[in-house]
Structure 1
Amino acid sequence: MPFLPGESRLFGGVFGDEALAALFSDEHQVACMLEVESALAQVQADLGLLPAEAARAIAAAAAHFTPDWAALAQATARDGVPVAGLLAQLRQAVEPSFAPYLHWGATTQDILDTALVLQLRAALELLEGKLRHTLRPLADLAAQHRHTLMAGRTHSQQALPITFGFKVAGWMAPLLRDLERLQQIKARLLVVQLGGAVGTLAALGSDGLRVQEGLARALGLGVPLFPWHTARDNLAELAGWLALLSGSLAKMAQDVILLAQSEVGELRESAEPERGGSSTLPQKSNPVLSEVIIASARANAALLSSMHHALIAEHERATHGWQLEWLTLPSMLAHTAAALNQARYLSEHLVVNTEQMRSNVLASRGLMLAEALNFALAEHMGRTQAKALIREAVEAARSEGRHLLEVVRERVSFPIRWEALKEENYLGSSQLFIDRVLQQAEEVLHG
């Protein structure tokens, strides 16, 4: 078992994502912190709060700055956060007369939180792209198989006929809502953090709000209603979204696993003969893609509670919630990226056995028409009587190995259109639901 699966040479291709890992590397975090410090100095210079030469000197030093990583790690271990150590090194790179203007009026959490928001903005753009790339082949599957008959199952039992396109549309609907949720979350999440020591920006006097608003504009971020040093609902909301998205993907993966069972045989994750192979059983093709998706979703579900615990913060600056976020949120992002990577591959390579789907429907010998028969008979007899008759007929059909329609026809003489009682004719509004989902997908993905 690796210490961190996503960074393992063995398991990185399963649980990792190189692009996302780069966004949360030490190098990128420091780069984001330097970007915030440079932007802060420039905004303050534009407002006449510090010399323009100081802002230029700070920007020039930050642009060419490479930290002494060993010293920075030592300072971080001493302070618990990297900001003070980073500033100490950066001040050595700035002309001495301008160095005091660095970090003017800000506090450690302002820099770390705003840098985190810059990282999250890039991370969400990455995840959104992966989600869109997953939805496109799913939309193709839903359209291609909108008339492919299969069994609809409730409580894992065959219930009523559906089409595979209907099932895929059901996978897509929550993913489309997740895209919609993401746009709503961004407005609350992608905001600057600048409040100073206790959130009042007292060190900036009457210019505090102007500096905050200017910094937000410079970084392309929103302005929060109130400094959020100890109000972490925006990050908890993001964590909830990550858990929702990975859970939505896992619903699809769970269906795939069940439909890929040997006894069912309606789906395979891909046509690759070597994928999901067993070390000892040559006939096996294990649903490894779906397994990773579900594991990632369950891990996120467990981690979500940690982000909710991090909401409990004391006074104006807290003691431990921050650290809990550091331990949790990057992992949740990694799990979500892993789930999306596997889901995209799955949606592009899923093998649909249409013949087996129809064969499984036929093997039910009309039992999935029990509801249709019940309603047809209810037009000629009481509903209670009709249900009792159908229940008896079902038992007879099962015990005698006969088709349900055949058994029912022996018991009644009502003028019923028996030839119309077929599974493909009892699909309700399936096609309309598929149309709704595909229309929304078209608007979201191509509109």
Structure 2
Amino acid sequence: MAGSVHDSQLYNRLFPAGEAARLFTDSAEVRAMLLVEGALAKAQGALGLIPGESADFIHRASLEIPLDPGGLATSAAQNGVPVPGLVAAFRKAMEAPEHAQYLHWGATSQDIMDSAQMLRLRQLLALCETGLQEVLQTLATQAEAHADLPMAGRTYGQFATPVSFGSHVAAWGWPLLDLLEDLPALRRNALWVSLSGAAGTSAEFTGKGPELRAALANGLGLGDPERSWHADRGPVLRIAAWLTRLAQVLGKMGEDLVLMAQSSAGEVRLGAAGGSSTMPQKQNPVQPSVLIALARQVIGLEATLKGAGMPRQERDGAAWFTEWMTLPQLCLSACAALETARDLVPGLQPQAQTMAAVFADSLGLLHAEALSFRLTETLPRPEAQAAVKSLAQECVATGTPLADLAARAFPDTDLDGLFDPSRQMGEAPATARAFAAKVARL
């Protein structure tokens, strides 16, 4: 098995990261670092920190000269970071030492790598935003179409009270809406440029550090944190937390769908299902299982990443290396969950007859709570609850429908509509429609 399912020719379609996969390659990282070096030179030239002619040459070269990532491997192994090798290779490739000497002027490796990483994470969040909007639109369509379709609600895995399939779908969607609404603040508070020199003091920029950092931020389209964040991994952790929440929400949907599609329930049919190598009858919930597995992986990776969020002193190699090993996998797996959901949700088919059979087979016990509240019209609440509990026990023992027992025990009580699931869903239909309406306003 490959070291990562996302890099595997065998498994990458089972765990599809989509366009996000191209953001986490060696070539993409090198290209992003070159863009940062070029933008830095341009900003320094404008501020008079390096000659303007050299700044223009370096900036132009950063857009035109490719570097082979493999050629930087030996230097990266020796130095612990790829930037010294990149700078040396780029200076050589420019073939203009009079200009190349001003490349990487005053910056440190972490400035270049963190800024380059933020360029790629900005693209990642844009892809997530598009994917989220698509999933939400599809969920909203399902919620609206099935707002009035009764199904058994379950708590602790047991039948509770009636809900609607539309409200159940909306429950998957509301947290995704929250995530979408959180994106503007996340971008402001996390997509930051990094530029503060060797130990985070900007001493190398001769008093123009803040001005230069702001210019670089503007040139790259990133935020200016107005400080060094070399040893504050908050921006990275905030993005990772958002992605983890995304995977977790989709994982919950996967958990629900595995239960709803299992043989003993059959309340939902999946548009695509997997087969067994030996059992012809099997229709395995592959995509929901993928969502669950990805969520579990992302949650674990975030825990590791949080452990790396306590770097020692002004820079900590071990913490930084840990970040490199975990963040790309976390990003790709969260995006794979979103890609899987985009493909899964449109094919969901609720089975109305199966859902209705649950109410019939439960002998009306899903309406026990409603009965207890109806009886409070003539009985104190504790007495009403005790009476219904006794009737429920008789219902289970004798197989007599609860409606019949209630009519016998309380002949003068109006039980009209009490045992009709379509009239006992409370705010479930309205909740489903409210979700659909909010998505429509996006």
The answer to whether TM tops 0.5 is yes
Could you tell me which amino acid in structure 2 is paired with residue 315 of structure 1? Q
Distance 2:147 2:260 in 1: 17
- 1:307 corresponding residue in structure 2: 305
Compute the displacement of 1:53 (Å).
1.1
1:58-116 per-position Cα deviation (integer Å, ceiling 9, x unaligned): 12332332324443111111111110001001111331111221111111100000000
Distance 2:165 2:208 in 1: 61
1:228 aligns with 2:226: no
Could you tell me which amino acid in structure 2 is paired with residue 316 of structure 1? E
Contact 2:364/2:403 (8 A) holds in 1: yes
- 1:9 corresponding residue in structure 2: 9
- 2:35 corresponding residue in structure 1: 35
1:15-414 mapped onto 2 (5 Å cutoff): 15-94=15-94, 95-270=96-271, 272=272, 275-414=273-412
Compute the displacement of 1:2 (Å).
2.9
Contact 2:30/2:69 (8 A) holds in 1: no
Distance 2:18 2:343 in 1: 16
Compute the displacement of 1:395 (Å).
1.4
Contact 1:58/1:102 (8 A) holds in 2: yes
Are the structure 2 counterparts of residues 202 and 327 from structure 1 closer, same or farther at C-alpha, using a change threshold of 3 Å?
same
Compute the displacement of 1:365 (Å).
1.6
* Bigger mean CA deviation after superposition, 88-97 or 35-44: 88-97
SS in 2 for 1:117: helix
- 1:443 corresponding residue in structure 2: 441
Contact 2:197/2:203 (8 A) holds in 1: yes
Distance 1:345 1:361 in 2: 31
Compute the displacement of 1:182 (Å).
2.3
Contact 1:7/1:16 (8 A) holds in 2: no
Could you tell me which amino acid in structure 2 is paired with residue 196 of structure 1? G
SS in 2 for 1:14: coil
Could you tell me which amino acid in structure 2 is paired with residue 118 of structure 1? L
Structure 1: gaps spanning 5 or more residues: none
SS in 1 for 2:192: coil
Contact 2:143/2:169 (8 A) holds in 1: yes
Contact 1:146/1:165 (8 A) holds in 2: yes
Distance 1:203 1:408 in 2: 84
Compute the displacement of 1:431 (Å).
2.7
Compute the displacement of 1:425 (Å).
1.3
Distance 1:296 1:334 in 2: 10
Could you tell me which amino acid in structure 1 is paired with residue 180 of structure 2? L
Distance 1:413 1:343 in 2: 50
Compute the displacement of 1:6 (Å).
1.0
SS in 2 for 1:125: helix
How many percent identity over aligned positions?
A: 38
Structure 2: gaps spanning 5 or more residues: none
* Bigger mean CA deviation after superposition, 18-27 or 219-228: 18-27
Distance 1:232 1:225 in 2: 15
Distance 2:301 2:242 in 1: 12
Distance 2:68 2:188 in 1: 36
Contact 1:15/1:334 (8 A) holds in 2: no
Are the structure 2 counterparts of residues 290 and 372 from structure 1 closer, same or farther at C-alpha, using a change threshold of 3 Å?
same
SS in 2 for 1:15: coil
Distance 1:18 1:212 in 2: 33
Are the structure 2 counterparts of residues 436 and 298 from structure 1 closer, same or farther at C-alpha, using a change threshold of 3 Å?
same
* Bigger mean CA deviation after superposition, 85-94 or 140-149: 85-94
Compute the displacement of 1:419 (Å).
4.6
Could you tell me which amino acid in structure 1 is paired with residue 333 of structure 2? H
SS in 2 for 1:321: helix
SS in 1 for 2:151: strand
Compute the displacement of 1:252 (Å).
0.9
Distance 2:76 2:126 in 1: 29
SS in 2 for 1:263: coil
Contact 1:114/1:192 (8 A) holds in 2: yes
1:351-370 per-position Cα deviation (integer Å, ceiling 9, x unaligned): 21111111112211211111
Contact 1:276/1:287 (8 A) holds in 2: yes
Aligned residues: 441
SS in 1 for 2:208: helix
Are the structure 2 counterparts of residues 366 and 57 from structure 1 closer, same or farther at C-alpha, using a change threshold of 3 Å?
same
Distance 2:21 2:365 in 1: 52
Could you tell me which amino acid in structure 2 is paired with residue 129 of structure 1? T
Could you tell me which amino acid in structure 2 is paired with residue 38 of structure 1? G
Compute the displacement of 1:289 (Å).
0.1
* TM-score, normalization by structure 1: 0.96
Contact 2:76/2:85 (8 A) holds in 1: yes
Compute the displacement of 1:18 (Å).
4.5
